[in-house]
Structure 1
Amino acid sequence: MDWDDLRVFLAVARAESLSGAGKALKLDPATVGRRVARLEEALGARLFAKSPQGYALTEAGQRVLAHAERAEGAMVAAAEEVQGAAGLTGQIRIGAPDGCANYLLPQVLARICEENPGLEVQIVALPRVFNLSKREADMAIGVSRPEAGRLRVQKLATYHLHLAASRDYLARHPPIRSLDDLRQHRLVGYIPDMIFDKELDYLTGLGSGSVPFASNSVSVQLNWLRAGAGVGIVHDFAMPSAPELVKVLPESLSLTRTFWLIRHQDDARMERLNRFAEALAQGIRREVLRLEGMTRPQIALD
């Protein structure tokens, strides 16, 4: 069995198409198809079932996938061992919810890359769960700890969220002295049917009805609040970037959530990713503490 054919097999399994795999490998789809056919002939089994939706793994393909991923991990680990433990190098892609991606990761990763000039980092900020088995990212940050899958999970940091609004909005609208008063105010929040994780369902239970200003993006929500659109839940670590905002009823409503770093189990032997994950964890913890500390002296407005 040729390792290069296994590498092509992995690319097709992750992209679920010959063209997608070819783009990732810089090969034309016909060559990718021939490599897959050669591997299937060598193994005496069909590895993919073609359908209008793309290439899906057969039962035999699923069995081969686990071995191919371990082989890939061993190859990467061997290369890292030979290269030694100098600075981190190469490209690492990290997926994250956009609150973390916008208000924490840029400064944390900038410092890591400054200490490791040979490192390239890509941030994929998407409001959904990432598929690490398909290598959409090398690692992902989530707000819920996954309970299934061949994953390695590490706690990154605990963070806090509060109701907030702009000073201008609060000056122009009825005072908010209790949670019941929110019924008289416009809320800013997530689009209800696009909440991809239960930990993001902040407004349920407030009894406030509809959300007139809704977006699947934390950044859009924050900018609506800055523009005086209404009242919404804001990450404490995002507050320093929006000086127009103040916390509302912090004694009555305070939410606590956790960021988790999620990696594929087979990556545990990759020293480069282990070192990057530790630097990332330390950086995020420090940054959350620093930014949240900047919001504590604020006094809630009536």
Structure 2
Amino acid sequence: MHQHLHRGAASTQHKKAEDTFNASWEDLRAFLLCTRHQSFRNAAEVLGLTGTTLMRKIDRLEEELGFKLFLRDQSGLSLSDEGRALLFDVEQMERLSFNIFRRASMSTDTNGTVRVAVTEGPGNFWVLPRLIDFQKTYRKIVVDLRCAMEQADVSRLEADISIQFERPTNPDLIVTKLGRLHIYTFASEAYRDAYGLPKSIADLRNHRIVKQHGMQLDENGYARILGLESLEGIVGISTNSSVAVLYAIERGAGVGFLPTSAIALGA
């Protein structure tokens, strides 16, 4: 066993850049699984190979690349510096291969209606610009975009896809984190010319604020950020609509908070 752990001494001399690289994706995938399982035996079981066959694949890949991928000892496998650098590229290849298979499985002849529920701000500022490109490819799919502050219940068939701020607790749902919502302050040029811009969060107290309220929003968030007990005398307009907030800001009504994706609509 000890002899097997130390076998496969690959040449440490790097191949010339003009040499042809003959390794297959199967060899690279074998390398990927070995890094994840940190064991030839466990990775071989996943691949349906014997441990000896898998080790030969890795030996062949190391010889083809011209450097060692793993440091092998009694405790298992650990990546060499070169192996760690290669891992990033192979993981990228894996992600791209998944995209290829997904595209191959989706026919542009697919038709029907997909109901997408999302809050108004992300719906208008982030989802809608992407739907424009989507519908150019999938001409027969109708996307019913439902923008509302109330959450839609997918399990009750209120929507096919729901994009929301809180992670759902229903274990029967397929849940994916899309990203983070970045909120910044916005003001129009007309407001800036007339009143200047706040130089700090504390300075916002001296300006007029356009405030959004509604479900899924922290009603006390504005006051807490400004360190105030009340927003009396500061808020000029309060609305439950993100589009109304954008319009009021553009018209110089005050300083407002919007997601950075609002820039896609010309904010």
Normalised to the residue count of structure 1, the TM-score between the two structures is: 0.47
CA distance in 2, matches of 1:150, 1:201: 32
Q: Name the CA shift for 1:219/1:204 in 2 (closer, same or farther; >3 Å).
A: farther
Structure 1: which amino acid aligns with 2:129? Q
Structure 2 partner of 1:122 = 144
Question: What is the Cα deviation at residue 150 of structure 1?
Answer: 3.3
**Counterpart for residue 193 of structure 2:** 171
Amino acid at match of 1:196: Q
Indicate which of 202, 215, 229 corresponds to 2:253: 229
Task: Look up the match of 1:72.
Answer: none
Counterpart of 1:220 in structure 2 is 244
> Which residue in 2 is equivalent to 1:137?
159
Instruction: Give the aligned residue type for 1:152.
Output: I
Structure 1 Cα separation of the partners of residues 220 and 132 of structure 2: 27
Letter in 2 for 1:207: G
Q: 1:175 to 1:117 in 2, by over 3 A?
A: closer
Whether the aligned pair in 2 keeps the contact of 1:161 and 1:235 (CA below 8 Å) is yes
Cα gap change, 1:207/1:199 in structure 2, threshold over 3 Å: closer, same or farther? Answer: closer
Q: Which has the higher contact order (CA 8 A, sep 6+)?
A: 1
2:216 is the alignment partner of 1:196: yes
The letter for the 1-side match of 2:134 is: I
1:134-185 CA distance string (max 9 Å, x none): 2111111112222346322101133422111112112212552222211111
Name the larger-Rg structure: 2
> What are the residue-to-residue correspondences of 1:235-274 with 2, within 5 Å?
235-243=259-267
Contact 1:202 1:233 in 2 (8 A): no
> Structure 1 or 2: larger strand share?
1
Q: 1:235 and 1:220 mapped to 2: Cα distance? A: 14
Deviation of 1:204 (Å): 3.1
1:199 positional shift: 10
* Counterparts of 2:175 and 2:219, CA distance in 1: 17
- Report SS of the residue matched to 1:137: coil
Aligned counterparts of 1:149 and 1:187: Cα–Cα separation in 2: 40
Q: How far has the Cα of 1:121 moved from its partner?
A: 1.0
Do structure 1's residue 180 and structure 2's residue 212 form an aligned pair? no
| Distance in 2 separating the partners of 1:114 and 1:173 | 44
Letter in 1 for 2:167: R
Give 2:226's aligned residue: 206
2:222, 2:150 → 1: CA distance? 16
Q: How does 1:1-302 map to 2 (within 5 A)?
A: 85-87=106-108, 88-148=110-170, 150-173=172-195, 175-191=197-213, 194-198=214-218, 201=221, 204-208=224-228, 209-210=230-231, 211-243=235-267
Q: CA deviation at 1:131?
A: 1.6
Whether the aligned pair in 2 keeps the contact of 1:144 and 1:199 (CA below 8 Å) is no
Counterpart amino acid of 2:250?
R
Q: 1:106 to 1:174 in 2, by over 3 A?
A: closer
Over 3 Å counting, the alpha-carbon distance change for 1:113 and 1:226 in structure 2 is same
Residue 227 of structure 2 aligns to a residue whose secondary structure is coil
Instruction: State the number of aligned residues.
Output: 158
Deviates more, 1:128-137 or 1:174-183: 174-183
CA 1:109–1:199 in structure 2 vs 1: closer, same or farther (change >3 Å)?
Answer: farther
Which AA in structure 2 matches 1:90?
G
Q: 1:143 touches 1:199 (CA, 8 Å); kept in 2?
A: no
Partners of 1:175 and 1:202 lie apart in 2 by: 18
Greater Cα offset, 102-111 or 119-128: 102-111
Q: CA shift at 1:239, angstroms?
A: 2.4
- Structure 2 length normalisation: TM-score? 0.53
Q: Secondary structure at the match of 1:113?
A: helix
Identify if the C-alpha distance between structure 1 residues 184 and 117 changes in structure 2 by more than 3 Å, giving closer, same or farther: same
